Structure 1
Amino acid sequence: MLNLSIVLEDSARNTPENTAVVFGDMRLPYSMIDTVANQVANLLVSRGIGKGDKVAVSCPNLPYFPFVYFGILKAGAVVVPLNVLLQSREIAYHLDDSDAKALFCFEGTPELPLGERGRAGFEAAEGCDHFFVLPATPLATESEYGESFWAALGGMSGEFETVPTSADDTAVILYTSGTTGRPKGAELSHQNMLMNVLVNDKMFPRTEGGDTYLGVLPLFHSFGQTVIMNTGFMRGAKLVLMPRFEPGEALELMRREEVTFFAGVPTMYWAMLTKIHAEGAEKPTSLKIAVAGGSASPVEVLKDFEQTFGVSILEGYGLSETSPVASFNQPGRPAKAGTIGTPIWGVEMRLVDHDWKTVEGEGPGEIAIRGHNVMKGYYGRPEATDEVMRDGWFRTGDIATVDADGYYSIIDRAKDLIIRGGFNVYPREVEEVLMTHEAVSLAAVVGVPHDSHGEEVKAYVILNPGASLTEAELTAWAKENMAAYKYPRIIEFRDALPMTATGKILKRELR
């Protein structure tokens, strides 16, 4: 018997009165999260949903998320977390593709009409029979979109005996953002997810008197789910939920709740630093550990953060397919800025060419990963699984180098590579150089079609507040600081860049 819900159950048994979740003025103890999750499990069983059935959840970072997530696991069912930015047609696709029997959907807000989209998606999905609304008003028993969560839980017992699942049973299906073709569901077992939690917990020293995590990374995404919610719950930590990242509010919450552990994507760190430097926002002093992933952090941001906060950002790497953490700048070893560190305990990494042959020396090559964190495969897609998996190895699509000490550095996504006139240009390298210019705050580089060169290098740039610089001046500067085939011939200034729900820059929208 191995069930991921143990990360909550164990803490609810050992420290029932400790605060598990903080949301606005609400402070919910571990015992309550566990009790409501038990009611959710009883509700699912009463509707004929049991072991191995898929149940989708579409919800931002609200207390509902852990209630539903752990309730589904306790029932022996499989959690299918959905990105809250999906439109109705996409919701229907995910429900159909995962064979979901039920959907728990947040009612939404005027800015995010999730209830409306979820209901339409549910109506369009063939085999999905149950729709539960997570109301925007706490404890509301009615909703225009369907059966309210609280009404459905009425009369459900707060006791439940978790359905025994085995280590290899599927716990979660995480959909990958699908930059190539339609999104695919990575099937992760209870063991995949639990081992990743155990290794994460071991990697970071605990704070005396208990840890406080700021949960701003979306919990529907693997990074927030494993590193923040599941590892935080396993430690009996306090989880401060933030549904939408806003740099001023994040800094305020860190100060008020004395946050010790923050995990974010590079753009979040950049936004908080901008807030402190441009507006003199006060910086929190309780922070002990700062973790970054999702995409490579610009070295300038790493330096600035360490100077400002006195804490260095530890960078790691992983994918939905690897539960997610695969490598890390691990405490107890020297951290190397700009690298993704070394493979975590129990995981191997190597560089391969397109024929799966090992690339000797520093590379570059494509990262392949083997270990307890690698998914079972893509749900219902044996061909897609065979393309990326061989003998337990998973190939990631990320191009990297490795140094003599075994530290990996991501050069770029294989698909972001720009080939200009036969030369390989790695956008990240160009972005790093552009960001050393004192007027540049953030840069994103993409390849755009070109008649004679095949592709041309284009940079989208956000300038520092009050900086005066023309596109032509920056191009001239870039020409002096980069090889002729690398520097961007086209530069466009922007006030903002398109981002995913997790704060990654959406390069496909810039191309």
Structure 2
Amino acid sequence: MEKTWLAHYPEEVPSSFAYPKENLASFLVHSAQRFPDNPAIWFFGHTMSYRELLDACCRFANAVRALPLVKGERLAIMLPNCPQAVIAYYGALLAGLVVVQNNPMYTERELKHQLQDCGAKALVTLDELCPKVEHIRHETDLQHVIVTSMRDYLPSGTPLAQSPSLTEQNGVILWQILLRQGASELPRIEIDAAEDIALIQYTGGTTGVAKGAMLTHLNLVANTIQSALWSYKLRDGQERYLGALPFFHVFGMTVLMNQAMYKAGMLILVPRFQAKDVLRFIHEFKPTVFPGTPTMYIALMNHPDVGQYDLSSIEICVSGAAPLPLEVQAQFERLTGGKLVEGYGLTEASPITHANNFWGERKNGSIGIPFPDTEARIVDENGNDVAAGEIGELVVRGPQVMKGYWNKPAETASVLRDGWLFTGDIGKMDENGFFYIVDRKKDVIIAGGYNIYPREIEEILYEHPAVAEAAVVGVTDSYRGQTVKAFIQLKPGQQVTAEEMDAWCRANLAAYKVPRAYEFRESLPKSAVGKILRRELTEESKQNA
């Protein structure tokens, strides 16, 4: 196939690279050797050097091996962006374990599914999340729950006080005690980077059934380096990364945590995105790299006090997880003087496959061109290439593409064919090799950068005793890009308010999945075979907006 996009590569970006076949945690090890005294992490006034961070990761690795956890077993992490999230991640990898990231906003139902599916033997989480874990723990394979507190790494923090609910009993282990028990020498675990799984990252797909994408050490090493090659002006040991994207999302994991460790940069940790806090962090700590979602950039631009802050330190931003509106891109670049470009990826590709050039040619509305060593095609329903400008499914191939889905061979075979990943996204490629996404995966709602799957929400609605039928669609929202709307048909004689339905959903779904609007109807539109037509509801919502 002709890679027309290579003509638009800057001279500084190679079309191919020899990716090291090593443990993903080697990024941290190498940076600690080169820049031991450089700051690795800043967290509300507490700074850790690369030497200190590596020491903590080694202690964590050796301590969990002594539990014992052995190579290949799964360790789950359910933490916001904080030092413990970084230490547990790289510590687990140094120990040869497989990391499973969990969103702290998950409900018990969602957490239980992932823990049951991956068979995690240990979980690292916050003290305030312990009740959620304890309620479902007996239904999982968890043997160890490692508990920490946000106070543990605050400047004025004190050691996590032991209490009756947080004693070292029944497999509950206190974070600070665990690290004190671990030896500080670097573990020596043999890794086959191309075969050994570093991460099981869950993604819903179009069906809403959560599947664990198996990402190898080489997958994640390659994608981190591809991203760094694309950002070729960044300097080793000098950049500051604004860590507002959550590390439990593969986008933040790669372009922030992994890339910062690879480049020996400083991670400015933001546990929860609050526009005013982020503006202050930029003003005071001068980050140079700020990956994010359109929602984040919109929130900053529209904050009433934005004019009081100096944002000129920002040099590059890559926007992902949702389409980037042109006016947002232009306004944010004017505000900061930096470059904001749109990229594209998916969990199954670690996640980035395409991006626009930061300092070269870019096209508005495009997701850009494929990364080094990445091939992309647009194909028809039979898998045949379509002509430039024609619409079809985007398929990609490269070293960042996953090994497959955890324990799901049929689903793996349906999306991985002859090395090509069928993304399910509909797009086109122009004659210059720039790619465009025409539509997202069928029915998937993308709100504030999160993929939300209608079927999952509908199942919760159907569990309500008053609901006869339900359909969930995405409607346009100026802030989140899309938001969730539920159409509900009640059973005869039943009466339920929108407030009551909202309470029901909030008890069973993570907050970002909860519908923002409810519409009760006498009936829902259906096809000849009785299938509810979500597309009709979507079109009606657009017309009534």
Please state which band the TM-score falls in when normalised by the shorter chain: 0.7 to 0.9
- What is the aligned partner in structure 2 of residue 89 from structure 1? 109
Contact 2:426 2:440 in 1 (8 A): yes
- What is the aligned partner in structure 1 of residue 276 from structure 2? 248
The match for 2:201 among 169, 174, 183 is 174
Letter of the 2:118 counterpart: S
Find the aligned partners of 2:483 and 2:358 in 1 and give their Cα distance: 32
Letter of the 2:132 counterpart: R
Q: Measure how far apart 1:455 and its partner are.
A: 5.5
Contact 1:141 1:148 in 2 (8 A): no
Q: 1:123 and 2:161 equivalent?
A: no
**TM-score (norm: length of structure 1):** 0.81
**TM-score (norm: length of structure 2):** 0.76
Contact 1:59 1:65 in 2 (8 A): yes
- What is the aligned partner in structure 1 of residue 218 from structure 2? 191
Superposed, 1:282-301 pairs within 5 Å as 282-301=309-328
Q: Measure how far apart 1:70 and its partner are.
A: 0.7
SS at match of 1:32: helix
- What is the aligned partner in structure 2 of residue 470 from structure 1? none
Q: Measure how far apart 1:310 and its partner are.
A: 2.3
The match for 1:309 among 336, 349, 362 is 336
Which moves more between the two structures, 91-100 or 225-234? 91-100
CA deviation string 1:465-504 (max 9, x = no partner): xxxxxxxxxxxxxxxxxxxx8993222xxxxxxxxxxxxx
Contact 2:415 2:423 in 1 (8 A): yes
SS at match of 1:489: helix
CA deviation string 1:336-374 (max 9, x = no partner): 122110000001111122332222221211111111010
Q: Measure how far apart 1:456 and its partner are.
A: 6.2
- What is the aligned partner in structure 1 of residue 38 from structure 2? 18
SS at match of 1:416: coil
Contact 1:446 1:458 in 2 (8 A): no
Q: 1:323 and 2:350 equivalent?
A: yes
Q: Measure how far apart 1:454 and its partner are.
A: 4.9
Contact 1:2 1:164 in 2 (8 A): no
CA deviation string 1:378-402 (max 9, x = no partner): 0010011011110000111111121
- What is the aligned partner in structure 2 of residue 105 from structure 1? 125
Contact 1:248 1:281 in 2 (8 A): no
Letter of the 2:150 counterpart: A
Contact 1:135 1:148 in 2 (8 A): no
Find the aligned partners of 2:206 and 2:134 in 1 and give their Cα distance: 26
Q: Measure how far apart 1:211 and its partner are.
A: 0.4
Unaligned runs of 5+ in 1: 109-113, 419-426, 460-484, 492-511
Identity of aligned residues (%): 33
SS at match of 1:234: helix
CA deviation string 1:137-188 (max 9, x = no partner): 3131535243211122233211132312012211111111455232110000
Letter of the 2:377 counterpart: R
Which moves more between the two structures, 307-316 or 366-375? 307-316
- What is the aligned partner in structure 2 of residue 489 from structure 1? 543
The match for 2:151 among 137, 159, 162 is 137
- What is the aligned partner in structure 2 of residue 338 from structure 1? 365
- What is the aligned partner in structure 2 of residue 152 from structure 1? 178
Find the aligned partners of 1:458 and 1:272 in 2 and give their Cα distance: 32
Contact 2:256 2:291 in 1 (8 A): yes
Find the aligned partners of 2:66 and 2:235 in 1 and give their Cα distance: 41
Superposed, 1:73-88 pairs within 5 Å as 73-88=93-108
Letter of the 1:104 counterpart: V
- What is the aligned partner in structure 1 of residue 417 from structure 2? 390
Find the aligned partners of 1:443 and 1:133 in 2 and give their Cα distance: 36
Letter of the 2:543 counterpart: R
Which moves more between the two structures, 313-322 or 361-370? 361-370
The match for 1:34 among 54, 75, 81 is 54
- What is the aligned partner in structure 1 of residue 290 from structure 2? 262
Q: Could you say if the C-alpha distance between residues 46 and 342 of structure 1 is closer, same or farther in structure 2, counting changes exceeding 3 Å?
A: same
Q: Could you say if the C-alpha distance between residues 442 and 2 of structure 1 is closer, same or farther in structure 2, counting changes exceeding 3 Å?
A: closer
Contact 2:314 2:337 in 1 (8 A): no
- What is the aligned partner in structure 1 of residue 87 from structure 2? 67
CA deviation string 1:419-448 (max 9, x = no partner): xxxxxxxx99x96xxx9xxxx667538897
Find the aligned partners of 2:207 and 2:384 in 1 and give their Cα distance: 24
Q: Could you say if the C-alpha distance between residues 417 and 325 of structure 1 is closer, same or farther in structure 2, counting changes exceeding 3 Å?
A: closer
Find the aligned partners of 1:90 and 1:84 in 2 and give their Cα distance: 10
Contact 2:35 2:237 in 1 (8 A): no
SS at match of 1:261: coil
Letter of the 1:135 counterpart: S
Contact 2:339 2:358 in 1 (8 A): no
Q: Could you say if the C-alpha distance between residues 458 and 53 of structure 1 is closer, same or farther in structure 2, counting changes exceeding 3 Å?
A: same
Superposed, 1:456-495 pairs within 5 Å as 488-491=542-545
The match for 1:161 among 171, 181, 187 is 187
Letter of the 1:227 counterpart: V
Which moves more between the two structures, 356-365 or 286-295? 356-365
Letter of the 1:488 counterpart: K
Find the aligned partners of 1:179 and 1:402 in 2 and give their Cα distance: 23
Q: Could you say if the C-alpha distance between residues 79 and 279 of structure 1 is closer, same or farther in structure 2, counting changes exceeding 3 Å?
A: closer
Q: Could you say if the C-alpha distance between residues 319 and 455 of structure 1 is closer, same or farther in structure 2, counting changes exceeding 3 Å?
A: closer
Find the aligned partners of 2:95 and 2:207 in 1 and give their Cα distance: 34
Contact 1:302 1:337 in 2 (8 A): no
SS at match of 1:166: coil
Find the aligned partners of 2:119 and 2:387 in 1 and give their Cα distance: 43
Q: May I ask how many residue pairs the two structures share in their alignment?
A: 443
- What is the aligned partner in structure 1 of residue 440 from structure 2? 413
The match for 2:300 among 272, 276, 286 is 272
The match for 2:260 among 227, 232, 256 is 232
The match for 1:444 among 455, 466, 482 is 482
Q: Could you say if the C-alpha distance between residues 442 and 191 of structure 1 is closer, same or farther in structure 2, counting changes exceeding 3 Å?
A: closer
Letter of the 1:121 counterpart: I
Q: Measure how far apart 1:25 and its partner are.
A: 1.1
Contact 1:91 1:122 in 2 (8 A): no
Q: Measure how far apart 1:284 and its partner are.
A: 1.1
Contact 1:20 1:27 in 2 (8 A): yes
Q: Could you say if the C-alpha distance between residues 16 and 299 of structure 1 is closer, same or farther in structure 2, counting changes exceeding 3 Å?
A: same
Root-mean-square deviation (CA, aligned residues, Å) is 2.6
